[in-house]
Structure 1
């Protein structure tokens, strides 16, 4: 099997992320208006269902590093895509809140397993100096998935069951592609690898601050992901098909998130976070203020897409830099915090919409976003581990992975702490 280059792996990873994050997770908000209408669900019930994939995402993310260790990157990616097939198929056949909830729950498992599987493969295939950039490109795949979902709404307005069935087929094709493209490397510690240094108290404290910011961003963004399409339909009186233009704008603008995150990573992350959080808050205020104006709503979606993807990419790259060489923890912790924030925010948005209405509910979340942006000077700085620490990692675990891949003929080498043998 010919192994992909760093660029090829980044692009293929972006495609898998597009399916697992874009189609299986975030596209749900796009179909809320027709699903809610056909199944007779209230805003509170939709809010609870919208939190389920975030909860399953957290549960899957906790066990994902162990799955990548034991199953290998290839099998974990295939398992993730398989869960996506099951979840998307269940949604397409949903008859009520329970069956719909089971489907979105399975989709959350798909999302939680995919990124750890890709980072396990990335640690074997990609040089450490490129980890942040490759991760940012893969993270931007979410925007691709969201944008791909748009034509199904524009051309299959009301036919959400057919749309989700087509998504299930795409996820099945992704499982097959992952089997052939991702190498079957295992993240078992090789005998000659230098053990990773213990995580210092300073690293833990900065990770805690990073996770707190990621939680707050996820909390604020949950309003847009789950209820923005329903807002323009219910409050603005726009046709259900018009929501597709919102998600198209989110997807297009989100592609710029990879560039913004990379620039912020190299310049001033704190200022970038403050700016993007202010943009996130303004997108909520814009769409709540003019839900009947499709151009203003689309502009708010552009602002939201750029801000959200930039922030998730920034948090991912910061996590990698705070815990270099620990890809099963560094980028995973802020992603878990974002999901936890969305899981906490989604039901609360539903309650506020029922009690106060869309305008006041979105305004309250916009205020929270502004307050969090004001705390951005506390954003964690990177740790200067020095060239010696970086060199130690390159000659340790990474060197063993390079040796494994360079000598892969058929089945790969699997290293064990007791012996080294061909399997």
Structure 2
């Protein structure tokens, strides 16, 4: 295994997230128009198929922490990329709804295993003080993966089978890279280190609120991820290649989500959450109102990409702050909530499209997002932001510090050093 610096690990993690999230999961919506046309699938069937990788993602996420502890971070990451290879290869050869569904199911497993594997490796390779920032950088890898898929659509608008074969090859490269760069153990704990304290009622209540907000965001965003390109072609009359510009905008703007999430983490998370959720909802309304205007559609993609990645990054950093020392559990919860929301929303929007049309379906989801944004003052603050809870917070932080890590020279990283390095 080759050792990586904090920055190097963040960038490498972003590459693996680009493969597992960007290509294996989110790029599917980009290819829905040609897939639906060639396989003769209706919108409601596409909605159900679009929910399958989210369901398998949830199931894989439930067992991923166990895999990371038993198999190690390296083997779990390799297994994740392996499922990506199989899933995208099956999609490339799909002949109907069944084979397509099997392919996206495997891709969902790929996605569900990757983040827990990376967070387990992060405990052994990255300083505690920068866990939140490194996680935020890795999170935008999904946008990078989406952006990588765009040139394929622009050049070969109907060659979705060749595109997925190419993606499968990239996932194969990810298998080799994960084996080379990720450690075989999930974390480094001294023999005298105490385990984390039990999660308090206060922490559970705030995690529950965080999960509810994440669920609604996933529910609302499912309309865009699955049906936005199809809306442009069906309702707007644009060519399939034109949808590539929409996804390019989503990918480019999503990279900025790392910065926005970091700013929110340092300032006012509830206000930032409200602003970003309104932006995400507005992007749906804008696309539905002007599907035949490529410039406005691309602008909606910019807004959606920035808002979506900012929100997922904010949820990720909030969960890390609420559960210090529990990286195998904290980041899993909001991602599961987002995926559950998307798995619920995908068939719902498919049915609405079939019954009432694209414009009404997108407008309905946009309204739901704006209504929930008004409840953002209830977004959970970090425990150490409130003086009356300072004693409880210090206990939690001490438990986190008991999980001592090793620095780049192989020496134990003490709590004093960790605090000194904290930005």
TM > 0.5 fold call: yes
Structure 2: how far apart are the matches of 1:66 and 1:344? 26
Aligned residue number for residue 355 of structure 2: 355
Q: Does 1:390 align with 2:394?
A: no
Report the counterpart of residue 195 of structure 1 in structure 2.
Answer: 195
Displacement of 1:387 = 5.2
C-alpha displacement of 1:393: 2.9
Correspondence for 1:227? 227
Task: Quote the residue 1:152 is aligned against.
Answer: 152
The 10-residue stretch of structure 1 (179-188 or 329-338) with the greater mean CA deviation from structure 2: 179-188
- For 2:39 and 2:188, how far apart are their aligned partners in 1? 47
Aligned partner of 1:241 in structure 2 is 241
User: Does structure 1 retain, via aligned residues, the 8 Å contact 2:82–2:171?
Assistant: yes
* 2:72 counterpart SS class: helix
Report which stretch shifted further, 188-197 or 68-77. 188-197
Q: 1:1-400 to 2 correspondence within 5 Å?
A: 1-187=1-187, 191-384=191-384, 386=393, 389-394=396-401, 396-399=402-405
Q: Is the 8 A contact 2:229 2:246 kept in 1?
A: yes
Match for residue 406 of structure 1? 410
Deviation at 1:188, TM superposition (A): 8.0
Size of the aligned set, in residue pairs, is 405
Structure 2 SS opposite 1:397: coil
CA contact (8 A) 2:188 2:404 kept: no
* Cα distance in structure 2, aligned partners of 1:67 and 1:382: 29
- Cα distance in 1, alignment partners of residues 344 and 42 from structure 2: 18
CA distance in 2, matches of 1:23, 1:278: 27
Bigger Cα displacement from structure 2, 132-141 vs 322-331: 322-331
* Contact kept? 1:221, 1:342, Cα under 8 Å: yes
Counterpart of 1:420?
none
Q: Distance in 1 between matches of 2:215 and 2:266?
A: 23
Distance 2:189 2:38 in 1: 52
8 Å Cα contact 1:84/1:106 also seen in 2: yes
Residue 184 of structure 1 deviates from its aligned partner by: 1.1
2:383 partner SS: coil
- Does the CA-based 8 Å contact 2:190-2:404 persist in structure 1? no
Q: How large is the RMSD of aligned CA atoms in angstroms? A: 1.5
Contact 1:124 1:405 in 2 (8 A): no
Taking structure 1 as the reference length, the TM-score comes to 0.93
CA distance in 2, matches of 1:387, 1:333: 23
Change (3 A) 1:301 1:290: same
Shift of residue 391, structure 1, vs aligned partner? 4.5
Write the distance in 1 (CA, Å) between the matches of 2:285 and 2:57.
Answer: 28
**Residues 194, 393 of structure 1: 8 Å contact kept:** no
| Structure 2 gap ranges (5+) | 385-391, 413-423
Aligned residues of 2:325 and 2:399 also touching (Cα < 8 A): no
TM-score (norm 2): 0.93
**Cα distance in structure 2, aligned partners of 1:38 and 1:406:** 55
Assess, with a 3 A threshold, how the Cα gap between structure 1 residues 306 and 193 changes in structure 2: closer, same or farther.
Answer: same
**Closer, same or farther: CA 335–108 of 1 in aligned 2, 3 Å:** same
Indicate if the aligned counterparts of 1:60 and 1:112 stay in contact, CA closer than 8 A: yes
CA distance in 2, matches of 1:179, 1:134: 20
Three-state SS of the structure 1 residue aligned to 2:3 is: coil
- For each residue in 1:34-89, what CA deviation from the matched residue of structure 2 results, as whole angstroms up to 9, or x when unmatched? 00000000000000000000000000000000000001000000000000000000
**Moved runs in structure 1, 4+ residues, more than 6 A?**
none
Q: Distance in 2 between matches of 1:203 and 1:386?
A: 10
Alpha-carbon distance change, 210 to 80 in structure 1, aligned in 2, over 3 angstroms: same
CA–CA distance in 1 between the matches of 2:64 and 2:245?
Answer: 34
Q: Distance in 2 between matches of 1:323 and 1:263?
A: 20
SS at match of 1:120: helix
Secondary structure in 2 matching 1:173:
helix
Distance 1:92 1:172 in 2: 15
Is the contact made by 2:80 and 2:114 (CA closer than 8 Å) also made in structure 1? Answer: yes
**Following the alignment from structure 1 to structure 2, what is the Cα–Cα distance between the partners of residues 323 and 348?**
33
Question: Structure 1 residue 2: deviation in Å?
Answer: 3.4
